[in-house]
Amino acid sequence: MVGDVPVGGGAPISVQSMTTTKTADVDATLSQVYALRGAGADIVRITCNDIEAAQGLAEIIPRSPVPIIADIHYQYRLALAALEAGVAGLRLNPGNIRKEEHIKTVARAAADAGVSIRVGVNAGSLDKDLLEEFGSAVPEALVRSALQEIRYLEDVGFHDIKISVKHSSVPRMVESYRLLAERVEYPLHLGVTEAGTPPGGLIKSVAGIGTLLLEGIGDTIRFSLTADPVEEAKAGRQLLEYLGLRERTGLDLIACPSCGRADVDVIKVAEEATAALEAANLPIQVAIMGCIVNGPGEAREADIGIAAGRGKGHLFIKGQVVRVVAEDDMVAALLDEATRLVEEGVEARLAAADVTAADLAEEARIELLDLQGDANRAAERRATVADVASGDQG
- Window from 300-304, 317-321, 357-361 with minimum mean pLDDT: 357-361
Confidence of residue 258 (pLDDT cuts 50, 70, 90): low
Specify the higher pLDDT residue, 369 or 197.
197
Distance CA 1, CA 72 (A): 19
Q: How far is CA 168 from CA 125, 172, 183, 195, 224, in A?
A: 12, 8, 22, 6, 10
Do 69 and 44 touch, CB atoms closer than 8 A?
yes
Instruction: Please state the rounded mean pLDDT for residues 102-116.
Output: 96
pLDDT, the chain, mean: 90
Q: How far is CA 18 from CA 68, 70, 90, 274, in A?
A: 10, 10, 13, 26
Distance CA 121, CA 138 (A): 12
Distance CA 232, CA 205 (A): 10
pLDDT of 346 above 60: yes
Q: Looking at residue 155, what is its pLDDT?
A: 97
Nearest to 205, CA basis, from 175, 168, 230, 234: 168
Length of the chain: 394
Q: Looking at residue 222, what is its pLDDT?
A: 96
pLDDT tens digits along 72-103: 988 999 999 999 999 999 999 987 888 999 99
In sequence order, the 6+-apart residues with CB closer than 8 A to the CB of 253 are 270, 273, 274, 277, 285, 286, 287, 288
* Cis peptide leading into residue 199 (ω within 30°): yes
Query: What's the CATH number of domain 252-372, 1.10.10.10, 3.20.20.70, 3.30.413.10, 3.50.50.60?
Result: 3.30.413.10
Instruction: Please state the rounded mean pLDDT for residues 16-43.
Output: 94
Task: Identify any residues that bridge with 289 across adjacent strands, giving them in sequence order.
Answer: 307
Confidence of residue 2 (pLDDT cuts 50, 70, 90): very high
Domain boundaries, the chain: 14-242, 252-372
Asked, colleague to colleague, whether 14-242 and 252-372 share their fold, the answer is no
Q: Looking at residue 128, what is its pLDDT?
A: 87
Do 220 and 242 touch, CB atoms closer than 8 A?
no
Q: Looking at residue 263, what is its pLDDT?
A: 63
- Window from 80-89, 161-170, 224-233, 372-381 with minimum mean pLDDT: 372-381
Q: Looking at residue 300, what is its pLDDT?
A: 82
Do 159 and 120 touch, CB atoms closer than 8 A?
no
CATH number for region 14-242: 3.20.20.20
Q: Looking at residue 88, what is its pLDDT?
A: 97
Confidence of residue 372 (pLDDT cuts 50, 70, 90): low
Distance CA 174, CA 166 (A): 9
Q: Looking at residue 261, what is its pLDDT?
A: 56
Specify the higher pLDDT residue, 319 or 187.
187
